[in-house]
Chains A and B, each alone.
Chain A
Amino acid sequence: SQQGEEDPQALSIQEGENATMNCSYKTSINNLQWYRQNSGRGLVHLILIRSNEREKHSGRLRVTLDTSKKSSSLLITASRAADTASYFCATDGSGGFKTIFGAGTRLFVKA
């Protein structure tokens, strides 16, 4: 089964609104990463947060990590139509040497 699971599966918002996506995982991790994928293309790395960090910012992105709840959230502020994409969280799976991705959240930002 997947290490990471995103919630919601799909999200539709208006341009200018904030979008929040959540990720839950099952085992202990060293770090958690968020990626974006535009339709049918490769994934682009957004941000990495280490297990000893609680919050991280990058531009309009804010990521939080709660290791006690085994969960993370990605907040995109002041969303734009260009933010329309699928967003994935990824964690290092048990056994090492692999990065496990969740099923993703599909975000649609209406202009």
Chain B
Amino acid sequence: KAGVTQTPRYLIKTRGQQVTLSCSPISGHRSVSWYQQTPGQGLQFLFEYFSETQRNKGNFPGRFSGRQFSNSRSEMNVSTLELGDSALYLCASQQVINTEAFFGQGTRLTVV
């Protein structure tokens, strides 16, 4: 069974630009969650999707958005990038929320 795939693995963007990250969950998993990981803040919950619906959202500004498609693949978008958005963005898929989560390798975003 293929694992969680995140693309791209690395990304360098300039302040003010926008970025879209992609996550393909494990086949059959309908719950996809996104996290931002920085050295200072640890793992911060961004949002969770299930069957194309956002069920919960973390404490992030509206510049952070996401969506989930009918095949459970998910994308997250960050607009008007700031230097502080530089982080490792992790996607996790679960069969059911609050069970074992399977993580992708992450997308490392650097904003310059």
**A2 interfacial by beta-carbon distance below 8 Å:** yes
Shortest Cβ distance from residue B68 to the other chain A in the assembled complex, whole angstroms: 13
Count A-B pairs with CB separation below 8 Å: 65
Which one of A45, A97, A103 contacts B55 once the chains associate, using CB atoms below 8 Å? A97
**A100 interfacial by beta-carbon distance below 8 Å:** yes
Would A41 and B106 count as touching, CB distance under 8 A?
A: yes
Would A45 and B102 count as touching, CB distance under 8 A?
A: yes
Would B35 and A101 count as touching, CB distance under 8 A?
A: yes
Q: Can you name the residue of chain A whose Cβ is closest to the Cβ of B88?
A: A40
Would B56 and A42 count as touching, CB distance under 8 A?
A: no
Using a CB-CB cutoff of 8 Å, which residues 30-46 of chain B contact chain A?
Answer: 33, 35, 42-43, 45
List the B side residues contacting A101 at CB < 8 Å: 35, 42-43, 45
Would B103 and A44 count as touching, CB distance under 8 A?
A: yes
Would B33 and A42 count as touching, CB distance under 8 A?
A: no
Would B48 and A98 count as touching, CB distance under 8 A?
A: yes
Q: With A and B bound together, what is the CA distance between A43 and B43 in angstroms?
A: 11
Top 3 closest pairs, chain A to chain B, by CB: A42-B103, A97-B55, A101-B43
B residues at A contact (CB < 8 Å):
4, 33, 35, 42-43, 45, 48, 50, 55-56, 58, 88, 90, 92, 97-106, 108
A residues at B contact (CB < 8 Å):
2, 30-31, 33, 35, 40-45, 48, 88, 90, 92-93, 95-104
